[in-house]
Structure 1
Amino acid sequence: MARGTFTGGIHPYEGKELSKDKPIKSVLPKGDLVYPISQHIGAPAKPIVAVGDHVLTGQKIAEAGGFVSAPIYATVSGTVKAIEPRRLATGAMCDSIIVENDGKYDEVEFKPLKPYEEMTAEDKIAAVREAGVVGMGGAGFPTAVKFSPKEPDKIDYVIANCSECEPYLTSDYRRMIEEPELLLEGLKIAVSIFPNARGILAIEDNKPDAIAKFKELTKDEEKISVKPVKTKYPEGAERMLIYAVTGREINSSMLPADAGCIVDNVDTLCAVCRAVKEGRPLMERIVTITGDAVTDPRNYKVRIGTNYKELLEDAGGFKTEPAKIISGGPMMGFAIFDLDIPTTKTASALTCLTKDEVAEFEPSACINCARCVEACPERLIPKNLADAVEHGDEKAFLDMYGMECCECGCCSYICPARRQLTQLIKGMRKIQLGKRKK
């Protein structure tokens, strides 16, 4: 039975007041655009342009490298300057297509498709695949693959993940307030792909205006409803959200489709709408530039490939020296040391924290308080898992279901001894996942 929440979780400082009441600002990039060929889970995209080629906005510059992959499109007009490794927010290097922006923003001609009500499910999925749409709230799983389960008639729910539980981030909220019809249409299109599905807008109850707006918009909809969920981190994690909304459980070896669910976030569904109705590829997203170190925190509608530096400059730069800069949010983002990094399909935010916002601590011995156990949404025992990692006991780690960890960070956040529990578990999970690939 759906309870609107899940076991465990935490209530960190939200920090959303910095940007949530300011309208989204659209900006055009000024400098070079950098397009990493791995902006999604699966095979890297394959460049189909060469150095010296002139490209237009909306022109495909890299094709999907396999079934689980996604094409990439130029988001400005200009000249291909180089194809070379560039650094990602994760710190990894990735082959990237660099386009010198000519400042004209000349576009290819986008041809709207026929009304989606007249399209087959296969046609809609093909449009989403061709547009390069991927999950824009997490790891970037190609949306067309997500829309292609083995048994589409067994999908009961398409869930719009509107929870946005990550502290400081408000991009989904602003889009819900400013472009609700676009999101709703995207959800309708997704629901129409599956013969027996219903659509659910899962919105955390700290967004009462968004809940009210969508209840009004969906009052006459037979297959779409609004489900308020409790404000708690990590409510927006896929497994937690499915349980909160439907009462169904999945583990790390299962897909949401195994529980009869498809989950997509706000930006993704907006991109689905544009792809199917307008034939427009994924070229932009909403990015939150926030934190007390930023002069004017707000949300930006940006072209993919835009440099973080440009966005920060538009936000007035730093009003005080940041103690930490994070790509993403403070719970699941990546600390970065260089702003010369491109926004990608999965880049949700740039969070710039002051000294007062960043805790400085030294880990100490575990006091066996069990707070990490109470906080863990996966019902694991993080303390024991971390002990197994520190002792190099891989078997114990696996026997205690360490691979079920979703790396949400709740255990590290709540630990009074300041042990780096998440980091230890994450490191071992990475080792085990690497072994599985061999």
Structure 2
Amino acid sequence: MKLHGIFLPHEKGTENSETIAVPLPSKVKISMSQSMGAPCDPLVKKGDRVLVGQKIGDSDKFMSAPVHSSVSGTVTAVSDMLLANGRTCKAVEIETDGEQEVSPDVKPPVVTDKESLCKAVRESGCVGLGGAGFPTHIKLNYNEAKGHVDSLVINGAECEPYITSDYRTMIEDADAVIDGIRIVKDTLKIEKCYIGIEDNKPEAIKILQKKAAEYNDIAVVKLKSSYPQGAEKVLAFNTTGRMIAEGQLPSDQGIIVMNVSTAAFISSYIKTGMPLVTRRLTIDGDIVKTPCNVSAPIGTPYSELLKFAEANMEFAHKIISGGPMMGMCVYDVETPLCKTNNAILAFKKSLDDGKKGKLKVNAQQTNCIKCGRCIAACPLGLMPQRFEKAFDRKDKETLLRLKINLCMNCGACSYVCPAKRDLAEKNQLAKQFAMQK
């Protein structure tokens, strides 16, 4: 069996750019919505002094992870913030004092078993750092009654163009990656770990193979450089041979899937007790003079990060949080950095300069010619063209029969469509429509 995909220009121009810490911003704005789960409630108010690593937001909802201050300083406001998905949440605005005084609450946790590991990971504020932002403690606290988890799959594919932040984690923090794997694997008594890395990252493969050679239960799996190789279902199948069916979690197939940067963070947190308050990300694009990988405090305005990379904002037309395939367009350059941001890409009006292999945007949409390329490109063999028609006529029964809920919004269908139909966009609207009661 073969899972389909597409081949994209890699555009990994920052792969050799060592991570640089950006200067401390004068202010940060920390969103209370930093994960796929429920937003947190602010724990501080205007006028409070906060310290680095101090918990400033939490929730008693099941699907949630706490939020911590990335700076020391004074809370200047607790305001409403408009998110890219149109929803609003609270945000804590902090004026930094330049001291970066660490909270006394920052202490290495004691981890002895599954319960204490899950508790520690929750307290760290850790969410999936591959972009989805699923709270990590929930992933680790799988239901053992449904079956034993025997395989840990580490996502080092980083298949989207431009982004190299995970790659730099594998190059710069390989020991932390392996240590994080061992913590999770040994504590949860998982027998085998597979580190999936695309074959366009030979140096990362070499380094982690050397580190993993010390253990007989960690294997580095070289994957074909195709998109979306890093998608959870695709990665799980291509490393373990197991298919995660509709409605299933990876744990239902005996698998936990974790991003390589998440594994490295867990190692750091267990050693230091410092929660997730900084983010490594790539800054790139055709208006960015100095493409780079940086480490920045959560809440840093995008404008500061783009300025650091010498982006010529006079020509800015499209700013993307994440990759060009699955990232979201940013409506305001003052948008603050959050935990799930692995890249900021800034582009001119069009990327179509006539050169072969360049990513194209802003193309004119025409009628579907029924060529079937979208079906051939879909990694799960879905039918985007039929999704579009069913959604347009509001046919929920057909959408569910065609398994619209399996769509992962990878965008491969839109990319290959010669008519430039907004298939990926329609797919997501169709999923929301199909889930309505």
CA contact (8 A) 1:162 1:204 kept: yes
| Aligned with 1:26 (options 21, 44, 49) | 21
CA contact (8 A) 2:42 2:90 kept: no
Counterparts of residues 12-411 of structure 1 (less than 5 Å): 12-17=8-13, 19-109=14-104, 110-114=106-110, 119-151=112-144, 154-318=148-312, 321-357=315-351, 358-411=360-413
**CA deviation profile, 1:267-294 (whole Å, cap 9, x unmatched):** 2112211222222211111111111110
Amino acid at match of 2:65: A
**CA deviation profile, 1:212-269 (whole Å, cap 9, x unmatched):** 1111111121221111111110000101100111111113411110111111112211
Amino acid at match of 1:205: D
CA contact (8 A) 2:287 2:315 kept: yes
**CA deviation profile, 1:153-201 (whole Å, cap 9, x unmatched):** 7111111100000111100001111111111111111111322432211
Q: 1-side partners of 2:65 and 2:136: how far apart?
A: 9
- Flag structure 2 segments of 5+ consecutive residues without an equivalent: 352-359
Question: Shift in Å at residue 425 of structure 1?
Answer: 1.3
Counterpart of 1:432 in structure 2 is 434
Bigger mean CA deviation after superposition, 105-114 or 245-254: 105-114
SS of the residue aligned with 2:282?
A: strand
Q: Percent identity?
A: 38
Counterpart of 1:11 in structure 2 is 7
Q: How many residues are paired up?
A: 427
CA contact (8 A) 1:188 1:199 kept: no
Q: 2-side partners of 1:430 and 1:139: how far apart?
A: 17
CA contact (8 A) 1:9 1:232 kept: yes
**CA deviation profile, 1:284-323 (whole Å, cap 9, x unmatched):** 1111111111010111111111111111111112277133
Question: Shift in Å at residue 43 of structure 1?
Answer: 2.3
**CA deviation profile, 1:101-136 (whole Å, cap 9, x unmatched):** 11221112432345x5xx222222211111111111
Amino acid at match of 1:150: N
Bigger mean CA deviation after superposition, 238-247 or 26-35: 26-35
Amino acid at match of 2:427: I
Q: 1-side partners of 2:63 and 2:82: how far apart?
A: 23
Amino acid at match of 2:327: G
Distance change >3 Å, CA 320–CA 204, structure 1 → 2? farther
Q: 2-side partners of 1:368 and 1:302: how far apart?
A: 46
SS of the residue aligned with 2:77?
A: strand
Q: 2-side partners of 1:44 and 1:28: how far apart?
A: 28
**CA deviation profile, 1:296-352 (whole Å, cap 9, x unmatched):** 011111111111111111111227713321111110011123111011111111111
Q: 1-side partners of 2:73 and 2:245: how far apart?
A: 46
Q: What TM-score does the superposition give when structure 2 sets the normalisation length?
A: 0.94
Distance change >3 Å, CA 187–CA 27, structure 1 → 2? same
Q: 2-side partners of 1:320 and 1:47: how far apart?
A: 36
CA contact (8 A) 2:228 2:410 kept: yes
CA contact (8 A) 1:88 1:342 kept: no
Distance change >3 Å, CA 196–CA 315, structure 1 → 2? closer
Question: Shift in Å at residue 92 of structure 1?
Answer: 3.5
Counterpart of 2:356 in structure 1 is none
Question: Shift in Å at residue 65 of structure 1?
Answer: 2.9
Bigger mean CA deviation after superposition, 21-30 or 256-265: 21-30
CA contact (8 A) 1:64 1:70 kept: yes
- Flag structure 1 segments of 5+ consecutive residues without an equivalent: none
